[in-house]
Structures are given as C-alpha cells and as structure tokens.
Homo-oligomer: A and B are copies of this chain.
Amino acid sequence: MIGLDFSSTGEWLRGTGPDSDVVISTRVRLARNIAGFNFANRAERSEHQQVVALAREHVMSCCERQGLLWVDVASLQPLDATLLVERHLISKHLAKGDRPRAAVVHSDESLSIMINEEDHFRMQVIRSGRQTVDAFTEVNRIDDLLGAKLPFAFHKRFGYLTACPTNVGTGIRFSIMLHLPALMMTKEIERVRRAAHDMQLAIRGFYGEGSDALGDIFQISNQTTLGKTEAQLLKEFDEGVMPKVVEYERRARQVLVERRASLLDDRCHRALGILQNARLLKLDEALRLLSHLRLGVQLGRITGVDPQTIDRLLVLVQPAHLQKTLGESLHQAERTEARATLIRQHLS
C-alpha cells in the first residue's frame, strides 16, 4: 500500500557496507524550515497544509530520483505508520501527530524526508555500514536542490534556524547504529558511555528511546551543531568518534575469542539453538538472541547462517512487521508465537 516491500528490508540493513561487523548503518540528517512560515509547533493548521503542499510540489520533482514515494502520514492506517517507524523511516512523533504532515521515502529506504515533524523538513540519508561521507554528500545534494526551490530560514550569525535550539546552526546530525555485543558481554559498555558523554555525543538504544539497547544495538549521534562547520562536524564524527568505538568493540571481541572462547561459543550457539527451536519469543529476548547469533557469525564461530538473514530479522520481528507479514491483527501472545515461527522459518 505504501509501496515498500515489508517482507524485505532497506539498503541500509543489508550489512554490506564498510565495517559492517560493528557498524550497521550511518545516517546523516538535516533540519530545515521554510523562511516566512512559523515553526511547525507554532503554526496554524492552514500553514501546515501550505508546507505540505510546497513539499509535495518541490521535493518530488527536485530530488530527481526514481522510486520516490509520497506518504500522506495523516491518512495512514496505524499499522502502516508503525511499520515506517519500525523501519526508522519516520519518527514516532510524526506517526502519532495530528497536524497535516507527510513523508517522502525512497523505495530502497536510503532516503526519507519528514514534513512537519519538529521542523518543516527533516531530510535523512541512510547507508549500510560506515558511509558517513557518502551519506553526507547525498543529503547535501538534496539540500541544495531543495534549497534552490524553497528559501530556508537562515540567520547570518546563527546559521539555519530550527524549532529546537539544539539543532540551530548547521541543523546536521550524524548518527551511527552500532552492534556492540562484546562490549555488553564484557560490561565495558559503561566506558563507552562515559567516553561518549565526554565527547558530547548522545548514546541510546536503537529500538526506541525507552528501550535500553535491545539487541545490543546502540545509536550514537553528535549533539552540538552550532559553532562548527558541517565539514568539521563530519570529520570529528567520521574520523574521531566512529573508529574509536569500532576499535573498542573489536578489541572486546578479540578478548572474548582469546580469553573467554567457551563463554562466547556458549552464548552464540545457545542463541542459535533457541532461535531454531523456541515456540514463543518475546521481542526483547529475540533481539538479544539475534545479537548473540550475529556476533557468532561475524566472528566465524558459527557458520551456515547468512548474516543478512540476521539483520533482516532484526527488523522483521518487530510487532507491526509481524502483523504485516502475517496479514492480520495479532494480540501480544499471538505475536510471541508468530515471532518464533517466523524466526524458525528463516533460520532452519
């Protein structure tokens, strides 16, 4: 209905990019607002509608890409809206809002533009693995194209103006989705948290704000966007933060292999055994086990399991995806059973 293949996953979860043993994906996001309009949280309904209309007129044409889909979020069925959230194409905030709003997504899911979320435009480009420069180049290109059509609110001294002061300036946010099972297993994750804090980075779980690192998947992003150029921020993030965290995790994995091989093998083989046999799997347990399995496969302790299958399952086991896949509305207990069945089918 939305035009996406929900039984598969987007480009960014293919696990094929550089450093994909640790870096699942890279995302670069820009916040932009149209000059002369109130910010979305201050605007009247009629203004919201005008912003949506302008977006529809210009975004679809200027991006010059095949496969762009216009999604009228306000008219989506709740299940479809949740699907887009689970695929990280739109935010919960956009899905649940009540103002006129929309999203433009590319069918390969490497691009999404939210309209009338916190800002008039939230443009994000996602790439699998570590591809910050590439994602940055692409989102800049779209920004230039769109900016040529629509005048963005910009202040000589402050830079791009945004609804929330934390985004003022470049309006840019880099974020990486990381799989850090070894740092979790060795409990060194706290060191990473402290280091992230010192570097003014935000670190949180991937599956929603409340969920603390389900599946050992973390999202790290820059917090300051003011007082530095986009190029500086990119360099800091791509050459400073990212290699450091990747190295921490790889070192922890090496320690597991060299000094705690039994524990490592126990965790990943158990995970496979349970995933292939359980009849009931709650989301948090499924993600934890998929994480251990992913680690085992990445380290070559387990063979015969396709890494892409695991990454695909990380998305497909979520509630709305399960219901979409099975074409029905399921209670939580039924989902628990359906999730186990789906996983068994993929891993048998």
Interface residues, chain A, with chain B CB atoms under 8 Å away: 262-263, 265-266, 269-270, 272-280, 337, 340
Give the complex CA separation of A288 and B337 in angstroms. Answer: 22
Instruction: Kindly provide the distance from the CB of A252 to the nearest chain B CB, expressed in whole angstroms.
Output: 19
Beta-carbon nearest neighbor of A333 in chain B: B262
| Cross-chain contact of A274 among B262, B274, B340 (Cβ < 8 A) | B274
Instruction: Kindly provide the distance from the CB of A299 to the nearest chain B CB, expressed in whole angstroms.
Output: 14
Across-interface contacts of A272 in B (CB, < 8 A): 277
Across-interface contacts of A275 in B (CB, < 8 A): 273
Across-interface contacts of A278 in B (CB, < 8 A): 266, 269-270, 273
Greatest chain B CB density within 10 A among A272, A273, A280, A337 is at A273
Instruction: Kindly provide the distance from the CB of A332 to the nearest chain B CB, expressed in whole angstroms.
Output: 13
The 9 closest A-B pairs by CB, nearest first: A273-B277, A273-B273, A266-B279, A266-B280, A269-B277, A265-B279, A270-B278, A273-B274, A262-B279
| Cross-chain contact of A270 among B265, B269, B277, B337 (Cβ < 8 A) | B277
Instruction: Tell whether, in the assembled complex, residue B262 and residue A269 are in contact, meaning their CB atoms are under 8 Å apart.
Output: no
Q: What are some 22 contacts across the A-B interface (CB < 8 A)?
A: A262-B279, A262-B280, A262-B337, A263-B280, A266-B278, A266-B279, A266-B280, A266-B340, A269-B277, A269-B278, A270-B274, A270-B277, A270-B278, A270-B279, A273-B273, A273-B274, A273-B275, A273-B276, A273-B277, A273-B278, A274-B274, A274-B277
Main secondary structure of the interface of A (DSSP, over half): helix
Beta-carbon nearest neighbor of A276 in chain B: B273
Across-interface contacts of A274 in B (CB, < 8 A): 270, 273-274, 277
Instruction: Kindly provide the distance from the CB of A272 to the nearest chain B CB, expressed in whole angstroms.
Output: 6
In addition to A266-B340, A269-B277, 5 A-B residue pairs with Cβ atoms within 8 Å of each other are A270-B274, A272-B277, A273-B275, A273-B278, A274-B274
Across-interface contacts of A277 in B (CB, < 8 A): 269-270, 272-274
Beta-carbon nearest neighbor of A271 in chain B: B277
Instruction: Kindly provide the distance from the CB of A141 to the nearest chain B CB, expressed in whole angstroms.
Output: 48
Give the complex CA separation of A274 and B271 in angstroms. Answer: 8
Give the complex CA separation of A266 and B285 in angstroms. Answer: 14
Beta-carbon nearest neighbor of A275 in chain B: B273
Beta-carbon nearest neighbor of A267 in chain B: B279
Beta-carbon nearest neighbor of A344 in chain B: B269
Give the complex CA separation of A277 and B296 in angstroms. Answer: 13
Instruction: Kindly provide the distance from the CB of A281 to the nearest chain B CB, expressed in whole angstroms.
Output: 8
Beta-carbon nearest neighbor of A270 in chain B: B278
Instruction: Kindly provide the distance from the CB of A305 to the nearest chain B CB, expressed in whole angstroms.
Output: 12
Beta-carbon nearest neighbor of A261 in chain B: B279
Give the complex CA separation of A335 and B21 in angstroms. Answer: 33
Instruction: Kindly provide the distance from the CB of A343 to the nearest chain B CB, expressed in whole angstroms.
Output: 12
Across-interface contacts of A269 in B (CB, < 8 A): 277-279
Give the complex CA separation of A338 and B272 in angstroms. Answer: 20
Across-interface contacts of A337 in B (CB, < 8 A): 262
Give the complex CA separation of A76 and B271 in angstroms. Answer: 42
Give the complex CA separation of A337 and B266 in angstroms. Answer: 9
Give the complex CA separation of A279 and B267 in angstroms. Answer: 8
Beta-carbon nearest neighbor of A274 in chain B: B273
Beta-carbon nearest neighbor of A337 in chain B: B262
Give the complex CA separation of A27 and B273 in angstroms. Answer: 37
Give the complex CA separation of A270 and B273 in angstroms. Answer: 7
Instruction: Kindly provide the distance from the CB of A137 to the nearest chain B CB, expressed in whole angstroms.
Output: 45
